[in-house]
Amino acid sequence: MAYVRKVRTASGATAVQIAEHRDRRDRVLEHLGSAHTSEELFPLVAAARQRLAPLQDELDFLPSAAASRSVTITGRRSIALWGSLRRVHTDLGFEVLADDAFAQLVLARVIKPTSKAGSIRKLDALGIPHAGLRSVFRCSARFRAEDYRSEISQLCFENARVDGNLTLVLYDVTILCFEAEHEDGLREVGFSEECRVDPRIVVGLLTDRAGFPLGLTCWKGDRTETLTMLPKVMDFLARHDLRDLVVAADAGALSAANLTALDGAGLKFIVGSRQVKAPIDLESHFHWRGDAFEGGRIIDTITSRPLPGAAAAAKPFRIRVFVMNLSGARRFIRGRGGRSGRVPGSGLSGTPATWRR
C-alpha cells in the first residue's frame, strides 16, 4: 500500500515522496520535490496525499491563506498537574511556611524523586517557573535551621485528627544508602541484609491507619531498626498528649524489649511476621478441625501467659491471628526446596492441595 514518505536529504532539506513497502523494502514510486521550510513542506505533502486519493479531497473550511499559515509554539505548561499539587499543598496548610522554593522542591519530587538539580530540570520540562539552583541549596539549609520538620509534623497531625480516629498508628523503617566514600557522622556504615558497605541512614515513618504521615525521624546508619521505634512512638505521645494507642509494625521493628516497654506504657500493639512452621498455638485447631488449609484462610487463637500472684488476673490475653498463604509457600518451595517439593523445616510436603502442618 502506497503512503507519503518524508526523508531528510544530505543538504538538510526534506524530500516528499510517494512510496510503498514491498519485499521488506521501501520502493519510491514518485518524487514530488524537496522543501527547506515548513511553508514549502505543507503544499508538497498536500499534493502527495491528493495523488494517493484524487477523489477524497478534504472540505475547505478555512481560507487558503489561513491553511498555509504555520503555528509557532512559544511554550507549554502542565497546568492541571501543577495546579492539583499546589491545591493539595495549600489544603494541608503547608503554605504557612511561606517558602516557595521549598514547596517547588517538594512537589517536584512528588512527581519524580530525584536530586535537587534533577528537580529543577523536571520543573523546566513541565514549564513551571521556579527558583534557581542556588536558591534551592539555600532553602535546604533554611529548613534544617528553622526545623520545618516539626512544623510539618504538627500540620499533618492536625489534618489526621479531623477524622477523630487516631487510635491506630503504623510504623515502618527504610534504609537509604549513599554512594559516598567517607562517613560524616550521619551517613554511617551499618548492618545490611544485602551486605552493602556504603554509608547509609535509617528513616522511620509513623502514619495513621490510612497511610497518612504523622512523623518522620532520621537516624544514624549504624542504628538498628529495633532501637528506632520506641523513641519515636513515645515522642509522638508526649508531643500530642495521647494516651490510648495501638502500634502496628513488622517483627523487625518490634523486639521483645519494645513490646515490654509498650505494654508497660499501657499501649497495645500488633506484630506482623511470616511463619514457615506451624506454632504450638494451632495444636487445638489441628486436633478438632484437622490440618488441611486453603489459601487465605484466617485462624485466630488466644494464648494465655500465666503470671504469679495478682498480676495474672490483670494481665490480658494475647490474640494471635494466622493467615495461610499458599502462594508464598509455593515461592518458598521454588526458592529453597528445589525439586524435592518440600519446604525445609516447615513440615509442608507434596502438592499444595495436600499440604499439612
Contacts of 193 (CB under 8 A, 6+ apart): none
| 46 and 102 share one domain | no
| Residue 22 phi, psi dihedral angles, 5° rounding | -145, 135
Same domain, 180 and 262: yes
Last-in-domain residue among 252, 271, 290: 271
Q: How many domains does the chain have?
A: 4
177 & 97 share domain: no
Which domain does 118 fall in, by range?
79-146
What per-residue confidence (pLDDT) applies to 109? 93
Residue 74 lies in a domain: no
Kindly state whether residues 281 and 266 are assigned to the same domain.
Answer: no
Judge whether 294 lies within some domain. yes
| CB atoms near residue 78 (< 10 Å) | 15
Residue that terminates a domain, selected from 117, 146, 175: 146
pLDDT at position 106, please? 92
Same domain, 175 and 251: yes
Q: At what angle do helices 100-111 and 116-126 cross, to 10 degrees?
A: 80
pLDDT in tens, 40-63: 888 898 888 888 876 555 566 666
Q: What is the CATH number of the domain that holds 179?
A: 3.30.420
Last residue of one domain, picked from the residues 68, 97, 119? 68
Q: What is the pLDDT of residue 103?
A: 92
Asked whether residue 85 falls in the same domain as residue 19, the answer is no
Within this chain, do residues 28 and 102 fall inside the same structural domain, yes or no? Answer: no
Q: Is residue 157 part of a domain?
A: no
Nearest partner of 14 among 37, 29, 35, 40, judged by Cα: 35
* Terminal Cα distance for the chain, rounded: 66
Query: pLDDT tens per residue, the chain (357 residues)?
Result: 788 888 888 888 999 988 888 877 888 888 888 998 888 888 898 888 888 876 555 566 666 555 556 677 777 888 899 999 999 999 998 988 888 999 999 999 999 998 889 999 999 988 888 888 899 889 888 888 888 888 998 899 888 888 767 888 898 888 888 887 788 888 888 777 777 778 888 899 999 888 888 988 888 888 888 888 888 888 888 888 887 888 888 777 777 788 888 888 888 888 777 665 666 666 676 777 776 666 666 776 665 555 555 444 455 556 667 666 777 667 766 665 444 444 444 444 444 444 443
Q: Which residues pair with 5 in a beta bridge?
A: 17
160 lies in some domain: no
Answer whether residue 159 is part of any domain: no
Same domain? 90 vs 64: no
Both 173 and 232 in a single domain? Answer: yes
Residue 342 · residue 333 · CB < 8 Å: yes
Q: Are strands 200-208 and 213-220 parallel, antiparallel or unpaired?
A: antiparallel
Residue 339 inside a domain? The answer is yes
Q: Is residue 154 part of a domain?
A: no
> CA distances (Å), 253 to each of 4, 170, 171, 248, in order?
64, 11, 8, 10
Distance CA 266, CA 272 (A): 20
Q: What pTM does this model have?
A: 0.58
171 with 267, same domain: the answer is yes
Q: In this structure, is the dihedral angle defined by the CA atoms of residues 320, 326, 328 and 332, taken in order, positive or negative?
A: positive
256 shares its domain with 290: no
Closest CA to 30 of 19, 41, 14: 19
Claim to verify: residue 266 and residue 278 sit in the same structural domain: no
Grid look-up 504469679 returns: 308
8 Å CB contact between 205 and 174: yes
Cα separation of 319 and 111, whole Å?
42
Examine residue 73 and state whether it is found in any structural domain, yes or no: no
SS3 labels along the chain: CEEEEEEECCCCCEEEEEEEEECCEEEEEEEEEEECCHHHHHHHHHHHHHHHCCCCCCCCCCCHHHHHCCCCCCCCCCHHHHHHHHHHHHHCCHHHHCCHHHHHHHHHHHHCCCCHHHHHHHHHHHCCCCCCHHHHHHHHHHHHHCCHHHHHHHHHHHHHHHHCCCCEEEEEEEEEECCCCCCCCCCECCCCCCCCCCCEEEEEEEEECCCCEEEEEEEECCCCCHHHHHHHHHHHHHHHCCCCCEEEEECCCCCHHHHHHHHHCCCEEEEECCCCCCCHHHHHHHHHHCCCCCCCCEEEEEECCCCCCCHHHHCCCEEEEEECCHHHHHHHHHHHHHHHCECCCCCCECCHHHCCC
